[in-house]
């Protein structure tokens, strides 16, 4: 799976992030092979994942945004047992640890809102060893570049990306890929 995920990002560095049913419909026609699912609840998340997977794409569920899931490790167990998701996204290191135990691919989402958040990145990475980190907001190329140099963990950048210039600056800063909920970015 890790090889397949890396190849998918190399083929298309844009990750489609969907936040509603309209995004789910549109994502199926994008070139992106990776979809971040940022909505749903415990009743419909298996169906959402199935739709993404039936389109031939890798599905990553953002545990923190699924209604009915708690911030406890059991949330990763639920996704593993009841969906065909390839991996999870979360801001919680404990969930990353549990998902890794379950052989799910893991993405730790980090909001770099100030110098304290920036300084905590290394500590969080050592605590849970995610497969990737996602930095938000993305539109800080100077900070993103520093994080890419600091981290041996591959970096995704997301949030507020709106055009090709943003994408190119982030790739130049060293990110592996860019996640976006903006369909205009999906089809660049």
3-state secondary structure 23-70: HHHHHCCCCCCEEEECCCECCCHHHHHHHHHHCCCEEEEEHHHCECCC
* Beta carbons of 130 and 108 less than 8 angstroms apart: yes
Question: Does an H or E element contain 157, and which?
Answer: strand 155-158
Average of per-residue pLDDT across 16-41: 97
- The burial of 94, by beta-carbon neighbours within 10 Å (0-12 exposed, 13-18 middle, 19 or more buried), is given as middle
Q: What is the pLDDT of residues 88-134, one digit of tens each?
A: 999 999 999 999 999 999 999 999 999 999 999 999 999 999 999 99
Residue 102 has what DSSP assignment? T
Q: What's residue 1's pLDDT? A: 62
pTM: 0.95
Domain residue ranges of the chain, discontinuous segments joined by +: 2-186
Q: What is the pLDDT of residues 144-155, one digit of tens each?
A: 999 999 999 999
pLDDT band at 188 (very low <50, low <70, confident <90, very high): confident
Q: What is the pLDDT of residues 38-75, one digit of tens each?
A: 999 999 999 999 999 999 999 999 999 999 999 999 99
User: Does domain 2-186 bear CATH number 3.30.70.260?
Assistant: no
pLDDT band at 2 (very low <50, low <70, confident <90, very high): low
């Amino acid at each position: 799976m890790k090889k397949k995920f890396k190849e998918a990002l190399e083929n298309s560095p844009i990750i489609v992030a969907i936040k509603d049913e309209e995004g789910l419909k549109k994502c199926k026609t994008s070139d992106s092979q990776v979809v971040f699912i940022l909505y749903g609840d415990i009743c419909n998340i298996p169906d959402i994942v199935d739709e993404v997977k039936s389109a031939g794409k890798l599905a990553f569920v953002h545990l923190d945004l699924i209604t009915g899931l708690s911030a406890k490790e059991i949330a990763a167990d639920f996704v593993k047992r009841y969906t065909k998701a390839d991996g999870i996204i979360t801001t919680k290191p404990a969930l990353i640890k549990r998902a890794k135990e379950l052989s799910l691919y893991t993405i730790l989402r980090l909001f770099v809102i100030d110098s304290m958040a920036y300084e905590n990145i290394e500590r969080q990475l050592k605590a849970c060893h995610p497969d990737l980190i996602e930095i938000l907001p993305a539109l800080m190329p100077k900070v993103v570049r520093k994080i890419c140099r600091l981290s041996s963990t591959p970096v995704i950048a997301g949030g507020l990306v709106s055009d090709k210039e943003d994408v190119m600056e982030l790739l130049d800063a060293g990110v592996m890929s860019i996640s976006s909920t903006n369909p205009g970015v999906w089809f660049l």
